Structure formats: structure tokens, C-alpha cells
Chain A
């Protein structure tokens, strides 16, 4: 085998320029794919982190039908205390859950006493909310005050409303909300801070405490609109989703939970109007579509690379066989078994692919290292600068290199087969 390798290397070196050109093409393809995977992967991870860690959490539990009507923030689809207790009981028994936060979501009119606008409000327990979405305090614009993020009687408002209504920290504002029975209630709040916007449907929400939300809505019971959940390890999302869906299905009464994975329809637990639904962040954020598009784009880029490898290697190997017909005739005539001739040409194709892949991987890793040193930032959404930390996993490298090597082998198969089956008399007589 070593001798076949030696001859194959020399044959490739014999047509050095052509070999270099083909290897360069494969190298370029590998560099393109690995850099795309690294940069888009970094972008995805950071953006997903932004959504999950600053507002959504990794998972959310709602009453069935709530998310379908989320635009109107229906108060009649809030979870009742008994349901909340069951969810909390389930969450406390799961060691994969790091924190959770109950929220009351409501639509309200926001007034600065001269102008009025609509606002979406999250009533939260500040400590639990920070534990569940740890990037929330980081969204505060301006100087951070000491103490709690939010106290009773205070409100955090989104940057858009702060600018539009010319409201700043310390100002007094009024929230007016329609209660479940149709009556209207108003309450004054002091602006505790202004939150930087985050792209997405809930990125422009304001925050008040859970008690203030219940008081504003004149709630008699401790109902909540949703429970946001933070996992210890986001990689366990699908497993926790399935487990939680099952557990909530078991405790919620009629019906059986159906876990369908993070990218599919949410699982419902309990069935009917009284059941519970579990959603992943991907079900709730439009960014999941962008993630899917990035993944799709990566697949297309990989297909392009595979095509480049296939065409380039096949072209070179077809030429190699054509140019060496007499040589093939000679080695065949002196008794070289067909399988050895086959292996010789397959090895040449394999070396072309493997050489290009090795060089491409080395250049890609160097480029990724350089991008991390240069600290490349991109702007996304409302002017947020995102510092990219491109990285590529060993699994990605192995997969892509394996694809290239397999394609190179497949591309060499036909020419190699032709060479091994060549009639020595015709080959020796070839001019």
C-alpha cells in the first residue's frame, strides 16, 4: 500500500500545476464552508443567547391557546393558581432546570400626562426574572442604579417609548389597563430605567412587578400568563422539552402530552381549553426562521463544495487516465492485477481530495483564529453590536473533510475502474 501511495504521489507531482490547481479549488471550497459554518454558527449562538437570556428564556409554559392569541394578550387564558402550582412542582423536581419566572402579560395605555401610547407589560418577580433571563439588567441604558432592578411602584420602559414620549428615569407615568371583566383601572409608576430594545415581538416590552400587575388588573387570584424557564445546559433543550411536556401532561388531567421537538408544533398537555402548552424559544421567536435559513444556506454551500470536489477531481482523473493509457497498458501487460491499477488511481483521487481538505482545514483554522483576535463585530437589529466569536467544532471539521474525501473517491471511481478494465493491447497501441 505504501508503494501505491508513493507512486500516486509522484504521479500527482508529475502534473504539478494541474494538481495544484485542483487542490486549490478544493481548498477554497473547504475554507468557504468552514468559515461560513464558524461565522454563522457564532452569529446564531450569540443571537439565540440574546433572545433566550434577555427576554424569552429557553422554554415557556402557557395555557393552551394562549400563544395562538398572544397578540391580544388574553387575560382569560391565564393559568390559574392550581395550574401554576402543578407547573412549579414539576419544575422543582427537574435538576436540568436552573430557574423559572412567572409572568403576567398585559396590554396597557402608557401616558406621560401629555401624550398616550400603547405598551405591552410584563409583570414579573425581579429576582426570578433576572435568574431566568440574566441579560435583562444589561439592557438598561445609562447609569445603573444600586439595589433592586425593579421595586413595587416602578416601571422599566422600552427605549422606543422613552424616546417617543420623552420620558426618562425618575419620571412619573400612568398605566391604564382593561381588566378581565371589562372594567378599566389606572395606576401611576415611577420610571426605574430604560431598556434597550431587542429584535422580536417581546423586545419592546416594559416591566413592572408581579404584585403591581395583579393590582392594576384587579386580580383576585395569583394567576400568571406564562412561566419562562432557564435550563442549566441549553443543549438539553429537546430532552427537557419532551420531559416537561410529558410531566405536565401527566399532572394536568385529561389528554396526553405530545412532545414534537423544538422546531415543530408545541406539545400540548392536558388537552381541551384547560390544558398546558410547552414552547421552546424557537416556537416563540421569529429568529428561529433566520436560524433555519442559515442552516439551509450552510447545506447549499456544502452541496456546492461537494459539486466542486466532484467535478474537479473527476476532471483531473479522467485526464490522468487518458494521458496515461500506454502506461496503463504497460503495467497491465507486465501482470499488474486490475485491483492494483484500480487502487493506484483511487489513491491519486483520494490524495487530491485529502490534500485539498487538509490545506483547507489548516487555512480555515488560521482564519478563524485571526477573526477571534481581530474581534469582528456585526450590527444587528436596533444598532446592537455583536462581537463574533467564530468557532468550528471537531465534528464539523470531520464531517466536511469526510464529505470531501468520500466525494474525491467517488469521483475517481469511474476513471479508476476504466483504467483497471483497460485492454492492454489497445492501451499499448494508443497513440
Chain B
């Protein structure tokens, strides 16, 4: 029996930046695989290549060499427009600075990808936004603008926005960096809950050791290289898929 294809597979993935005469090796030939519906974290100090790796998985950046397959697609071969379409179709993003659109309300921020990225009919849109507002516990704040809610609430909205298009994969680059520890933990718990509820794969990065403990699979990055997932993380991942 043929084994199921992982959601993300990286083979000898390399990313090198050139700044003038200087070459920066952000990612040095890493191999990894991430299964569907898993809850994965990339950890490592600043400059270890976490963001670069997430950018490549999210089709925001191209690998210099190696192969990166995301949801059965060799994303290294995608052009600018195709990459945008792929992101809109399959990937949700959660950013460190929340990056909500300031002129839109909480409701409209979640609705945004359904209008501007995918053309959902209004009724279906409303149902989806209400469901997500409920799921992230922001139903009471739907009419507020981002500057009227707290950092933790903003990140909840960002998670809801990332899930709006029923994305299979949500990438979160340092989603808790601008939050206090309690709030950060609640956001991670929320992401986990969303994974359970919607079956979405969550991949995030952090350098906070307390947060990384909440993940089921941990990849440690150091100087562009990746170590194998910890035994504990592997056990957790297996339990999830059991």
C-alpha cells in the first residue's frame, strides 16, 4: 500500500541571498516533511532561517535550489500570479504584527479574503464569517476596528482571517512575539483548537521556549540547517494521527 503524500516535503532546500558582494546562506539544504493536520513549530534564534523557510512554504519566496512540494505542487516553479492564486486557494497567513487592515472592521477583515481573493456569494460569506467569529470568540467585537481591540484579540481575528477560505495550511511567523505570555499561550491554544475543529495544518515559528512546548512537531533550525524533530514531538504527532 502506497504511503500518503505529506502535505509539505522539502528536499535539499537551499535559499541564498546576495547582498552586494556578500552571499547569505539563509537555508542550507534542509530536508523535512510535514503531515496534514499536524501542529508544527520551527524554532531557533534570530537569523536561523525560520522566516525564510516559512516564506518559501508560503510561496512568498523561491528556493535557490532543491525541491519544495506543498499540497502536491512544486511551489518553486510557480510564477508570481500563480503563486498568488495558490496562496489565495490553499494557504492562510498569521503575522507577528497581526497585519489587519485598519480601515475594515473585525467582521470585514475576516471577510476580506472571501471577497478580494475568492469570490464567495454574500450569504455563504456571512455564514463563514459568523462561524469563524464564533470559533475564535470574537462575535461580540465584529463591528469594531482593529485599533479598538487588544493585541490578543487582533491575533484571534488574524487566525480567523487565515481560516476564512478553508485553507489547508496556515503559516504563522512569530504569531506570539508581540503578546504577553498568557495571551500568547491562549493564541496557540486557539490555533490548536482550530486545527482540531477545521482539520487545518498549522506551521508556525517562534523563539519562545515556553510556546514551543505546545507544538506537536518541533523542528529546530540553527544557522540555516535543520535538526530532526524531537522524539516527544514525534510521539505527539503520531498520537494526533492515530
Contacts and interface: CB of A to CB of B under 8 A. Distances in A.
Contact of A338 (B84, B86, B93, B165): B84
B22 interface: no
B101 A330 contact: yes
Interface residues of A, number: 23
A330 B95 contact: yes
B169 to A, nearest CB: 12
Give the most central of B58, B84, B101, B102: most A CB within 10 Å: B84
Contacts of B162: 334
Interface in A315-356: 326-327, 329-338, 340
Given A3-B115, A425-B61, A13 B101 contact: no
A337 B88 contact: yes
A144 interface: no
B60 A333 contact: yes
A123 interface: no
Nearest to A329: B99
Please report whether the interface of chain A is mostly helix, strand, loop or mixed according to DSSP: helix
Nearest to A11: B103
Between B58, B116, B117, the greatest number of chain A beta carbons within 10 A of the residue's beta carbon is seen for B116
Interface string A1-20: 00110010011011000000
A425 B84 CA distance: 13
A338 B80 contact: yes
A428 to B, nearest CB: 7
B91 A10 contact: no
A331 B101 contact: yes
B103 A7 contact: yes
Given A3-B115, A331-B116, A425-B55, A337 B81 contact: yes
B103 A332 contact: no
A269 to B, nearest CB: 66
Contacts of B89: 335
B17 to A, nearest CB: 11
Nearest to A12: B103
B92 interface: yes
A338 B116 CA distance: 11
B104 interface: yes
B116 A340 contact: yes
A335 B85 contact: yes
B105 to A, nearest CB: 10
Contact of B113 (A329, A335, A424): A335
A262 B91 CA distance: 69
Given A331-B112, A333-B93, 9 more contacts: A10-B103, A326-B99, A331-B116, A332-B84, A334-B117, A336-B88, A336-B116, A337-B84, A428-B99
Interface of B: 55, 58, 60-61, 80-81, 84-89, 91-93, 95, 97, 99, 101-104, 112-113, 115-117, 161-162, 165
Interface of A: 3-4, 7, 10-11, 13-14, 326-327, 329-338, 340, 424-425, 428
